[in-house]
Structure 1
Amino acid sequence: MSEMTMKQAAERALGLIDLTNLNDDCTPADIETLAARSSTPHGHVAAICIYPRFIKQAVGLLKDSPVRIATVVNFPEGGEDTRDVVRQTEAALADGADEIDLVMPYRAFMDGRRGFAETQIAEVRKVIAEPAQLKVILETGELKDPRLIHLASETAIAQGADFIKTSTGKVAENATLEAAEIMLNVIRETGIENHRPVGFKPAGGIRTVAESQAYLALADKLMGQNWISSATFRFGASGLLDAVLAEIEGRSNVSTESY
């Protein structure tokens, strides 16, 4: 397996980015900027990830674009009112969202209430019809224990997740290679019995091409070099796009944007 160059990593990463603005002070003008940034001279990102209140605006801005619209529900706390989370999901889909990033009730899961987490994911899954997709955010930086991360990954996949995602980007520890390895191994282990593809999304704190390269290399190693595509792998990031474009264009990147 030949080692990819930084430019190759940047070129691969571009079409895998869920270009994200989940800042508390996000405005409609910020969404206009995000939508404009989503298509570049070198290709487009996979999706933009935004708060539900901006979905209708984004649908209008991206009506002629292949870029998908992702939004978050039960975000960022991972609360326990499942009926409300289902209503959030239904409203987001009605407004035009293509992808739902659900924060699983990870505190309940950590307290041993696995069945509660299973039920919430399953109830949300029921209202998401193809081609819309469900990404389940595990909040691995809070779960911490590798055994819990492994079990949470299995649980989300068993209840119908199309992707499992590391983090909200709103806690002290977000995406790590250690959590990524556990999650990718679960995807690999469960792939045969599921008979359906499940994707992986590291999110939070990935800002440089070198960081993205490390995740791509890990996925290549564990899943095979032909596995990665926008259907199976996403980066949840904001500042990464600037770094990727700078690398592709051979200029220095000065962005300090965070997730």
Structure 2
Amino acid sequence: MNIVDCRAVAMRALACLDLTNLDATCTPADVAALCARATTAHGPVAAICIWPRFVAQARPLLTGTPVRIATVVNFPDGESAIDAILDETDRAMVDGADEIDMVIAYRRIATDPAEAEAQVARVRAATQGATRGATLKVILETGELEDPALIRSASGIAIRAGADFIKTSTGKVTVNATPEAARIMLSVIAETGGKVGFKAAGGIRTLDDAATYLGLADEILGADWARPETFRFGASGLLDALLAELDGRTAARETGTGY
């Protein structure tokens, strides 16, 4: 891509970024720093994504900005009891979460898909039952599912159960987002009307990575589909790469070639 195209991709990706810190060692100071970084000289990211225990802290820090607060439930192993997941969801929403990223019971997709679907449906109902609703993103953990047929099945289950987005990964396993899994998920979204969003998460660090996933969305769902309301990146390091491009600090800008 030329410089103009690189900047265009960087701007698109920035607006669709869920700036994430789900490190086990995350502290209140880290969350404050994440909130401060979420509004850049080139515009805000779509959301921050943090542990539930930090949502109440982040809420006043982001008041007056368009940046949304996402948090995680049934995370990362997808094995919590439904009552615990619902309690976690309710608390997060009371604390001010705008978006709930829920891990589906992915180990049951092959053996008990009806149970996995029922679980998502109950969390979906919970996100719609409060004074203000929350966006539900369902994490499929595609690197663990591995089989394209299971990824397709999990995508359909999540969509039927009411997911607003389907998301590739937790970022906590060996294989996270891949273009191959993204293509399957985006194809299922297209086949079901294109109204459900897509989030790629885990291992997305470079402008090349962002361009790959945006290109897939453009190919399968059209050039106008991928926007913050329908498309997200879950990442921590990607912001640095995007700002380097937008600030003209990349090696490409210095040499005048490539990225």
Cα deviation, 1:125-165, whole Å, max 9, x if unaligned, reads: 11112641100000000000000000100000000000000
Structure 2 unpaired stretches of 5+: 252-259
Match of 1:149 among 139, 148, 151: 151
CA distance in 1 between counterparts of 2:150 and 2:28 reads 38
> What residue is the counterpart of 2:27 in the other structure?
27
> What residue is the counterpart of 1:230 in the other structure?
228
Judge conservation of contact 2:138–2:167 (CA < 8 Å) in 1. Answer: yes
Aligned-pair CA distance for 1:252: 2.9
> What residue is the counterpart of 2:243 in the other structure?
245
Is 1:124 the counterpart of 2:123? The answer is yes
CA distance in 2 between counterparts of 1:80 and 1:45 reads 30
CA distance in 1 between counterparts of 2:204 and 2:232 reads 11
> What residue is the counterpart of 1:204 in the other structure?
202
Match of 1:181 among 183, 191, 212: 183
Match of 1:216 among 202, 214, 217: 214
> What residue is the counterpart of 1:256 in the other structure?
none
Aligned-pair CA distance for 1:109: 1.8
Judge conservation of contact 1:79–1:105 (CA < 8 Å) in 2. Answer: yes
Structure 1 unpaired stretches of 5+: 254-259
Judge conservation of contact 2:143–2:169 (CA < 8 Å) in 1. Answer: yes
CA distance in 2 between counterparts of 1:176 and 1:63 reads 34
CA distance in 1 between counterparts of 2:48 and 2:133 reads 17
Moved more, 225-234 or 78-87: 78-87
CA distance in 1 between counterparts of 2:80 and 2:67 reads 31
CA distance in 2 between counterparts of 1:77 and 1:26 reads 19
CA distance in 1 between counterparts of 2:175 and 2:192 reads 26
Is 1:86 the counterpart of 2:89? The answer is no
> What residue is the counterpart of 1:41 in the other structure?
41
CA distance in 2 between counterparts of 1:126 and 1:228 reads 26
Judge conservation of contact 1:141–1:174 (CA < 8 Å) in 2. Answer: yes
RMSD between superposed Cα atoms in Å:
1.5
Judge conservation of contact 2:109–2:153 (CA < 8 Å) in 1. Answer: no
Aligned-pair CA distance for 1:54: 0.2
Judge conservation of contact 1:6–1:210 (CA < 8 Å) in 2. Answer: no
CA distance in 2 between counterparts of 1:144 and 1:31 reads 33
TM-score, scaled relative to structure 2? 0.93
CA distance in 2 between counterparts of 1:175 and 1:13 reads 16
Residue correspondence of structure 1 range 48-197 to structure 2 within 5 A: 48-110=48-110, 112-129=111-128, 131-191=133-193, 197=195
Question: Could you tell me which amino acid in structure 2 is paired with residue 114 of structure 1?
Answer: P
Question: Could you tell me which amino acid in structure 1 is paired with residue 205 of structure 2?
Answer: R
CA distance in 2 between counterparts of 1:155 and 1:105 reads 11
Question: Could you tell me which amino acid in structure 1 is paired with residue 181 of structure 2?
Answer: A
CA distance in 2 between counterparts of 1:12 and 1:109 reads 33
CA distance in 2 between counterparts of 1:117 and 1:222 reads 27
Aligned-pair CA distance for 1:80: 4.2
TM-score, scaled relative to structure 1? 0.93
> What residue is the counterpart of 2:256 in the other structure?
none
CA distance in 2 between counterparts of 1:142 and 1:97 reads 27
